[in-house]
Amino acid sequence: MDILPYSDNHHAFRMKLREFLSSEVTPYVDQWESDHIVPKSIWKKMGQEGFLCTAVSREYGGFGGDFLYSVIVIEEMVKTNHTGLMVQLHSDIVVPYIESFGTEIQKRRYLPGCVTGDIVMAVAMTEPNSGSDLASMTSTAVEEEGQVVINGAKTFISNGINCDLVVLAAKDPSVDDPHKAVSLYLIEADTPGFKKGNRLEKLGMHSQDTAELFFTNCRIPQAQLLGKKGHGFIQLMQKLQQERLVCVIWALAIAKNILSWTEDYCRNNPKFGKPLAASQSVQFSLVEMLTEIRIGTAFVHQLIINHMQRKERVIDTSMAKYWISDMANRVANRCLSMVGNMGMRETCPIVRMWRDIRVFSIFAGTSEIMKSIIAKSKAF
């Protein structure tokens, strides 16, 4: 049962998006996967149709939609069976930093372009030697004659090649407390001293332009500080609930998509003269996975409602992040095994989903980090 309060406007938006994706995205996905990148032109098409940054207010070019529009975009994008066009990262994870912490000048300069797709955003936190432990980052930001000089390297940056604007986390080396040393900065892609590395070859997400970013004496105006100096760590923590919830909704949608395809395959493909679905062991496997997905859906939908009511649900979101990610991986593994030899071929749709879902237990905080957060909260 769907407990989310979708309106007629939500349903109309979903149908419009579904039609757009069927004509402008799905037919090209295989080529993008082969190219290991999506073209910038598709970002602009998404923006022109109103599918980017649905929460941005009309004042800055958006239409001020609620979080359910974001849920719809995530779910419908999953049905295209690729992760290269990472709309949710741009719209629901990175752009909110500008909405929440940006100055009026920054908002008017950047948000309209984010809505239209003329500006693609990325967030640069992870470094070669620091991932989940943000306090150990080594990228530096030093104020010098009215400017900020950035030095350091970031890695595993999604949208790293296509990005036009980056939210960068860097430290003031003169501050001893690592949690008070971090600040966030807005860096435009054509800034001297900012260089994009090569696309990273990955197990999955082949069409996602994940890259390393390098900053060598990269000078930006002090006005590019995002929020208050030294508040970067706090700002990152404030945005983690929505970031992780986005990942949870995304992983759940992939699990549903995998199971739906597998169920259809088992009903329509025979073995020993009968459909695979006639086997009791297959039936029980499908039932077990469906049950887990239904349980996860109820939990996630309640989290979405709580989040829309601006309730803090850090612990529950951490629980969902590790459990849904692990569950989606279990579903992917079981379904791939159930379809037999078909699951060894690249033409099998769930092969791509199986690869892509693996990273969900790693990014936005590993499952182990989620469990650590829950344990420290003494929630049990």
Judging by beta carbons within 10 Å of its beta carbon (0-12, 13-18, 19+), is residue 230 exposed, middle or buried?
A: middle
Catalytically active residues, by annotation: 243
Q: For the chain, give every domain's residue range.
A: 8-119, 123-230, 234-377
The structure tokens 């996967």 sit at 33
- Tens-place pLDDT, residues 56-107: 999 999 999 999 999 999 999 999 999 999 999 999 999 999 999 999 999 9
* Its pTM surpasses 0.85: yes
> Residue 112 and residue 34: Cα distance in Å, rounded?
32
**CATH code linked to domain 123-230:** 2.40.110.10
- Over residues 237-241, mean pLDDT: 93
- Tens-place pLDDT, residues 26-65: 999 999 999 999 999 999 999 999 999 999 999 999 999 9
For residue 1, name the pLDDT band (cuts at 50, 70, 90). Answer: low
Orientation of helix 8-24 relative to helix 40-48, angle to 10°: 150
CATH class given for the domain over 234-377: mainly alpha
Report helix, strand or coil for 256. Answer: helix
Please answer whether residues 369 and 361 qualify as being in contact, where contact means their C-beta atoms are separated by less than 8 angstroms.
Answer: no
Task: Decide if domain 8-119 falls under CATH 3.40.50.300.
Answer: no
CA neighbor of 93 nearest in space, from 248, 213, 209, 261: 248
